[in-house]
Structure 1
């Protein structure tokens, strides 16, 4: 049986299911509180944001079948002609950065922002470039194992209904009442997860709903996962843009898609999806805390090994922002001479804090492999 379409928001769950979800949310928020505290006290706080966003960019694109890895990003860091998959990761990172910038500047999550980010995702001749970049689809699309609609697993809403569904979605995301929210429920046995529901639950809902509306011909998955990060920032769930759950979703890719399919059609299973998403968030928070602790230990170890004042400390910290760098990149980023950058990087390599390909004499890429392993 082919699933078709999706109900407008907000979704309904049983009262018992709602209590279970809110109990799980309380546990996750304890971990998120610790994560916020750890980020505040990290000596490499600012440097980590970019590298964690790169990690998210790699994992999110891998969910959709690309094979790009951190190693690929290192190998192609200095190349002018990069593979389409590496370019796709870079596009994702640019779109994520633009979205974070917009939210920081007080922009709401809106159709206008979504179209802007989609255009960035589709740049530079990557997968889906020709699929109406920055525009909602004007034709029917479908999700399935082949290019034939007859084999579809899910058929999203008609193109002419996208505007109505996205309006409903946008009001819900921004916690603003809308006439389309009116639903009759049995208050004794049912619970409406309305626009004022817990931000973590709402993030789960807005992601699944966006994926199910499937407003673009391509790029819906990647953009939908960017919206997870932006939503947690907009709702103040986490202070830094590090709510990167794609790694956990990628580990259970088949289950992820199955649970998303579950909210579609005439009998949506919203509890099953939200419960799955919250479990992924719990694992992400716990893993992120562990990573931050280990990364801080690595940074401190490096400072002790350096054991001196000067630019070299800033050069060391810069590798936590970008774990594969060239002399010129460090010189430009830190506003120091090329000679100073080269000397500092070579010193860090002598201390075995960084590595580089010793067969190369030009355009050397210095790599912080210890950081990459921790990530």
Structure 2
């Protein structure tokens, strides 16, 4: 059966309902947003795995790959909080999120939070002659971004966006389109405008999440699509290139995006079901409230230690340590018996579910 927006929206709606009734939903928001941050960063070529990130996310002197993933997660959560509190997706918000992405990033940060002032291009090297795509000139960015804002939020005076520039037979997806189709268009248009010197790709994928929240397709940032996009990275880039130029192929791009969302909804549903089963099985083996709290906490921080648990749950270090050791004795989590100080505790069963 051909995929369509309604079918995928229904799947995401059922997923949302299940998520809202899950005992581990809030814990999984953190770990799923971390997974999204890793996958989106990997699309840009950063060689860091989800396991690396979980293992190293609390390092005091992280390598730059970890910094980039941390920045993405911070920008994602910050953007979500703004949308939840009623702020619309706007150029101002986009610039502020770009600034977060650029904290401690590779290369120059002079243009952090600012639209580019010079021409850029996408290509295999530093020669514009070899570019696979040359975006609009810098002097047109404000105009194009305002048009994109109107498409996202509707015109401030409820005026319809003009379509007189379109030819007969062109696709017309207006500002009132199905939320998933509209999100696909927003992402592709932002990537085509390419308003910043760097971090356009990752910021464009954050916009996918934010528009799904703003359109009330989801109420929490748990539905992400970067994992599926990363699996087909060359095709993803090819589909984006296909909507540019004088003969844009919107049909193939939108179908590609809907299929990715469809597969991702199935994947997240399976992860949520298995994670909830694991959580319930573990809770049935817990003897104290402290053990239960710590066990559920490991679903947001699968590789943790007593100091972190103590700080996050606001319990004493001894209570945290005793609960973790009890969970390890029950084989719910793993700890290295040879290590005596700063011992780490790992919820490998959850990690297996999240990586599959």
TM-score range, shorter chain: over 0.9
Match for 2:125 among 143, 146, 149?
A: 146
Partners of 2:65 and 2:183 lie apart in 1 by 28
SS at match of 1:89: helix
Partners of 1:53 and 1:253 lie apart in 2 by 20
Tell me by how many angstroms 1:186 deviates: 6.9
Quote the residue 1:118 is aligned against.
Answer: 98
Partners of 1:60 and 1:129 lie apart in 2 by 21
Query: Residue 57 of structure 1 contacts residue 89 of structure 1 at CA under 8 Å; is this kept in 2?
Result: yes
Instruction: Provide the alpha-carbon RMSD of the alignment.
Output: 1.7
Quote the residue 2:294 is aligned against.
Answer: 315
Task: Report matched runs for 1:150-169 at 5 Å.
Answer: 150-169=129-148
SS at match of 2:284: helix
Partners of 1:180 and 1:104 lie apart in 2 by 26
Q: Which runs of 4+ in 1 moved over 4 A?
A: 177-180, 184-187
Change (3 A) 1:35 1:84: same
Name stretches of at least 5 consecutive residues in structure 2 with no aligned partner: none
Tell me by how many angstroms 1:234 deviates: 0.3
Partners of 1:94 and 1:224 lie apart in 2 by 15
TM-score (norm 2): 0.95
Tell me by how many angstroms 1:178 deviates: 5.5
Match for 1:349 among 328, 331, 354?
A: 328
Change (3 A) 1:129 1:96: farther
Name stretches of at least 5 consecutive residues in structure 1 with no aligned partner: 1-19
Match for 2:201 among 194, 205, 221?
A: 221
Change (3 A) 1:289 1:78: closer
Q: Does 1:52 align with 2:32?
A: yes
Query: Residue 171 of structure 1 contacts residue 178 of structure 1 at CA under 8 Å; is this kept in 2?
Result: no
Q: What do residues 261-297 of structure 1 show as CA deviations (whole Å, max 9, x unaligned)?
A: 0011111111111110000000011111111100000
Q: Does 1:87 align with 2:96?
A: no
Partners of 1:173 and 1:182 lie apart in 2 by 16
Query: Residue 229 of structure 1 contacts residue 244 of structure 1 at CA under 8 Å; is this kept in 2?
Result: yes
Partners of 1:129 and 1:342 lie apart in 2 by 43
Partners of 1:179 and 1:300 lie apart in 2 by 50
Partners of 2:101 and 2:119 lie apart in 1 by 21
Q: What do residues 299-326 of structure 1 show as CA deviations (whole Å, max 9, x unaligned)?
A: 01111222x2321100000011111212
Partners of 2:251 and 2:213 lie apart in 1 by 24
Quote the residue 1:127 is aligned against.
Answer: 106
Tell me by how many angstroms 1:71 deviates: 2.2
Tell me by how many angstroms 1:364 deviates: 2.1
Quote the residue 1:9 is aligned against.
Answer: none
Match for 1:327 among 278, 295, 306?
A: 306
Tell me by how many angstroms 1:366 deviates: 1.4
Tell me by how many angstroms 1:73 deviates: 1.7
Query: Residue 28 of structure 2 contacts residue 300 of structure 2 at CA under 8 Å; is this kept in 1?
Result: yes
Task: Report matched runs for 1:1-375 at 5 Å.
Answer: 24-124=4-104, 126-130=105-109, 132-176=111-155, 177=158, 181-183=162-164, 189-306=169-286, 308-375=287-354
TM-score (norm 1): 0.90
Tell me by how many angstroms 1:354 deviates: 1.1
SS at match of 1:155: coil
Query: Residue 161 of structure 2 contacts residue 174 of structure 2 at CA under 8 Å; is this kept in 1?
Result: no
Query: Residue 92 of structure 1 contacts residue 222 of structure 1 at CA under 8 Å; is this kept in 2?
Result: yes
Aligned residues: 352
More relative contact order in 1 or in 2 (CA 8 Å, sep 6+)?
1
